[in-house]
Structure 1
Amino acid sequence: MLTEWQLVLVALLIFWGGLMVADKMFNLEKYGFNVLPFLLICRTTKLNNFLSKTALKAPRAWRVMGDVSIPLSYSALGYGVYLLSLNLLNAFFRPQQASPVIPLIPGITITWFSFIYALVGIVVTLAFHELAHGIAARAEGVPIKSSGVLLLLFLPGGFVEIDEEAMEKVRTRSKLRILSSGSAVNVATALIALLLIANFQAVISPWYGPSVGVVITNVDPQSFAYGKLVPSTVLFAINGTPIWSPLALDIYLLNVKPFDTLNLTTSMGEITITAGINPKAPYKGYIGILYPQPFYLPYPSSWWLGHMFPNHVYMVLQWMFIVSFSVSIVNMMPIPAFDGDKILQEVVSSFVAEEKKTSILRKGISTRKLIVNLARATAICFLALNFIVPLLVAGFTPL
């Protein structure tokens, strides 16, 4: 019997193998598809007109927003570096509070249930990111060659292909506006999503009443509840005590001890489980419910929306925040192919003369290249440490 990740691997191999065969048989390139090993690119020029019209309606306003995007993007990077540094310190001194920085791999690092919502967040984040680059480029007078979507292994993506020759001719300030616009829009998207999450009850109040329970979105495979509680189950009470919200659940669990017997009143009926040992606090009980959400009942006039609609919206908003904020940080790091690397090269070129050399081991090395490569190595090592160290000391639970 194949495990879940083995099934995923087999499905991916079949999909990409079939796509390569179809490309050979039907020459998909003439339809705008470029098929490479584990990479599918669909390129078009149909979006160029929209980007130009949008940018040229108010080019001055877009340039002002471009100026704002530069400090906004670097502020997000600074805050992200602070969080990642804190995460590393926790890995060494408070392992139970550390979390590894891991890629989203369906069935391995993220459950398929969560990946559906994460996929929406990824698509929205990348769409806004690339549209921002395209509009900023046209506002600065830089032509757009093409735009499109891509699929890398199993992750969707998007791109706006800017005319690099024209890009080289514009001034440094214009380049920084264009390059930082994507991350700035991601910061704005994350903040909007966070604002909606923080005021979610007010947002849905015209159609739904207050929370009356907790929706289970994930269950720890190492807990006694695994296999008994499944995603989308609604928890209403524990041992007769109403659980109105995730906060009420947290408060109740404060008094639960390991191996206590708990009778759960759920949408699936009465379920009895035994509390396990909390991995972060061994003296506390643990039932393994991860990422619980409030459960809202619709008003009679809004019955057609269904009981689970708010939870679908809430999950999408959560992943929009997570993905947008993460992309805004990582994209600004000086890592090859990311905007942060291009920005660093542009800034270094503005302040360091091309002919300037630095002597290392009696060899003259370009100072520009030395600064850029040191920054790249530091960023890559920093991310790698945030992946390896917390993973070794704390492990991870699929999202």
Structure 2
Amino acid sequence: MLGLAAAVGAAAATPALLSAGAAEAAHRPVREQYGSVGGGQHPVHVLRVGAPAARQVLVLVAGQFGAAGSLRVLARELAGRLPGTQVWAVDRRETNLADLSELRGGDPDRAADRYLNGRYRSVRPASAPYVAEWGLATALCDLRRVVRAAGTGGRRVVLGGHSWGATTALAYAAWDFAGQPGHRHLAGLVLIDGGVHDAFAGEGDVYRVTPEQARAGLADIAAGAVFDPSLTLGRTETYAILQVLAGRYALAAPDAPSTLAERLPVPLRPPGPVSNTGLLRSEYVDAPLVPDLSVNPAYTSIETVAGTLAVVRPGAFEWYWPQRLTLDLSAADPFARTATTELLGLRLWHPTTIDVPLYSFQSGLTHGTANAAARWVVAHSRIPSASYDGDEAMTHLDALWAGRNPMLDTLVPFLRRLEH
């Protein structure tokens, strides 16, 4: 087995040639490169996977707290099977806030000592008040830069996302950019276990943000509630840091007793002693913090979980998720122009004119509501054709990390048709 530094380096090399892993692409190398799109004070970074000369680009956006690294396994599989399509996984601007200085090395003990003892730059609302403005409008402005870059030279651009990344993709398609709908320069849409109009109702998440609630949310943000506290375990960034450390320990010494387990916050702490691999199994299989953050070992191996978590550039999780983005995406769920969207300045003005093919896949997380919501979007737009698929045994993360991924059986043909 590779040592930790070699294993992480092989996964994160920029650029790199890596095996796609799929049976039909076992001998086809997949190129990877991670870099910024545009400059400025808050650059957006993209993980490009596949042939730069491909005539089609699939731009993928991760979901809440997800970062570009969470899309790497899926991107490799798709690029390996579709030589005519390059996959771009987007890192939102807030990923630049993370202090990765000690995590760039290969020693998990040294990194744990630094980060678990708080010896890193922690971004607090007082030091980053500008994040209060990083809502959906900012995210879509950044995404437009990515879409335009992907479309240079006349390349077709397909836009997709996972979870709230799928919501973001639909919002982009419906958004008014200075009088021009976002969908005008897209060739297709890919929704992976997410969307709008009650896509998440099956897991109990129904969004009905009233103008009064929106005003209260804006007031809270203005008062200092800049970062979404949903995964806060001590500090906003604690969860993401712990996942990197857990992944690195599991790569370095999978069967060794976990020294990290006893240092975890109570919600993540296993009931008894575990190995480094056992700690990840506890977190992602036996007792996940939330249903969204779990895997079914019949689809996704713990080794894949470890390898995905251990890389930090790009990483699997964001350290800091803007509360304004949570408010805006919640308010965008009806996928229509409402009093709330007008109050928040959300330019969702063109949902009924979307006219590109759509693909939707759902796992067992939403119990059917993700595809039902996608069908609603199709019925209330000009979308000419749509493909729907799902697997109730899969988890939300399996759709991205599965070694045996049934989604590819339908997503690959959908993208192949768009190539031509």
Q: Give the TM-score band, short-chain normalised.
A: under 0.3
Judging by fraction of residues, say which structure has more strand: 1
Judging by fraction of residues, say which structure has more helix: 1
**Normalized against structure 1, the TM-score is what?**
0.27
